[in-house]
Amino acid sequence: MQLTERHRQYWRKNLRLTGALLAIWFVFTFVIGWFARDLSSITFLGFPLSFYMSAQGAMLIYVVLVGYYAYCMDKLDREYGVAESDQ
C-alpha cells in the first residue's frame, strides 16, 4: 500500500499529539517524584504537593490525558475520513 501525503499528514499529527501527551505524562510521573522533597513545602488542599500528586493528582492527570487523546483522535479520524462508522 502506497502512503499518500494525506496519510503522512494524519500520522504526523497523531505522533505530534502522542509526543506532547507523553511529555506531560513523563513530567507528572517522574519529574514530580524526583523533586518530591522540594515540593513538600508547597501545599495543595492542605496536603504537601508531592503527597497529593502521588496519592490522587497523577491519577487524575492520567484520566484527563486518556480522555483528551480519545477526543482528539476521534476529531482527527473524522477530519481525515478514517473514523469508524456509528452503528
pTM above 0.85, yes or no: no
User: Is residue 56 one of the residues assigned to a domain?
Assistant: yes
The per-residue pLDDT for range 7-38, each reduced to its tens digit, is 999 999 999 999 999 999 999 888 888 888 88
**CA pseudo-torsion sign 23, 25, 29, 31:** positive
User: Is residue 50 one of the residues assigned to a domain?
Assistant: yes
User: Is residue 43 one of the residues assigned to a domain?
Assistant: yes
Domain count for the chain, please give it: 1
* Helices 5-26/58-80 angle, 10° precision: 170
The per-residue pLDDT for range 47-71, each reduced to its tens digit, is 888 888 888 888 999 999 999 999 9
